Amino acid sequence: MSGAAGSIEDRIQTSLGASIERSERLSGGCVADVRLASLADGRRIVVKAGELGSKLDVEGRMLGYLAEHSSLPVPEVFIGDDDLLVMAYIEHGGGLGTSGERHAAEILAALHNIKPTDAGEAQNAYGLGFDTLIGGLPQPNGWDDSWASFFAKRRLIEMAEQSAQAGRCDRKLVARVEVLSGKLDELIGDASPPGLIHGDVWSGNVLAGKGRVAGLIDPAIYFADPEVELAFITLFSTFGRAFFERYDELRPIRKGFFETRRDLYNLFPLLVHTRLFGGGYLASVERTLGTLGF
């Protein structure tokens, strides 16, 4: 690390009590430079360094929330500042296989069983007491007793508006999303009670080790109908049949999820990717809206 890295190294040494001996760049990171660093005392850490306004403190806060309120394997956070996030490095390598997918189902089912009041929140509602991020984009929360209302306003319409403001889609698409959002009550039916979700379970955020899930990183947490997490997993084929069979044993998947609600819930990550990348993701949003009759 060079340039402004001197001050970063000083902050790390002050906080962790050991200096950085060497570092290497890691892949990933939407808003920050990400490196694996070795400390003089033998520890290895992951260092995310960004500009002021990077909101890396939000990522640190989400990881801390998961560590405090769940058994999900997440990295320990040493520094969680706006421009600097320092975490323990989780040893990993290799694939998951069938046993690893079953393990993933077990730890995510346990996560989804956590209600807001289990985490010390004042109410059992959908959302979270602080705003979060997904892929570096604002993810507003707050609380709502209605899952359909929360998902409509704070996920679908919010991300469609962000995409339009960034020039990734036109107002006609926003209007289509708004019309669909007005029908969410009947499309969703009786929602599952709010459960804590990771929010961004794609393969790049799943660290495998010895045929099990060694860690999950880069969360986008809130309390949701957990089906929204399952839908995301199918969108990018993070896990396969073994995962869903084991999950269904632990938390039975309601009828109609694979037939209808999966596509409905995947509108949100498709809108996120439209906002970030445009192109083919916008076409996927339009196709999904058409399939759903909007």
Q: Is 248 a catalytic residue?
A: no
List pLDDT tens digits, range 59-111: 999 999 999 999 999 999 999 999 999 999 999 988 899 999 999 999 999 99
Low-confidence ranges of the chain (pLDDT < 50): 1-5
Per the listing, tokens 């040493």 go with: 78
Which neighbouring-strand residues pair with 187?
A: none
CATH number at residue 55: 3.30.200.20
CB 143 within 8 A of CB 124: no
Give yes or no: residues 76 and 148 share one domain.
Answer: no
Please write the tens of the pLDDT for every residue from 130-161: 999 999 999 999 999 999 999 999 999 999 99
Cβ neighbours of 229 (radius 10 Å): 21
pTM listed for this prediction: 0.94
pLDDT at residue 26, as a whole number: 83
Q: Please tell me whether residues 161 and 82 are part of one structural domain.
A: no
Given the residues 131, 144, 145, 200, the one annotated as active site: 200
10 Å Cβ neighbour count for 241? 9
Alpha carbon distances (Å) from 246 to 20, 40, 257, 290: 42, 43, 16, 32
Question: 3-class DSSP state for residue 52?
Answer: coil
**Does 128 lie in the same domain as 72?**
no
The boundaries of the domain holding residue 141 are: 97-291
Can you tell me the distance from the alpha carbon of 140 to that of 230, in angstroms, rounded to the nearest whole number?
21
| Whether residues 143 and 76 fall in one domain | no
Please tell me the predicted confidence (pLDDT) of residue 31: 60
In this structure, what are the phi and psi dihedrals at residue 85, rounded to the nearest 5 degrees?
-125, 120
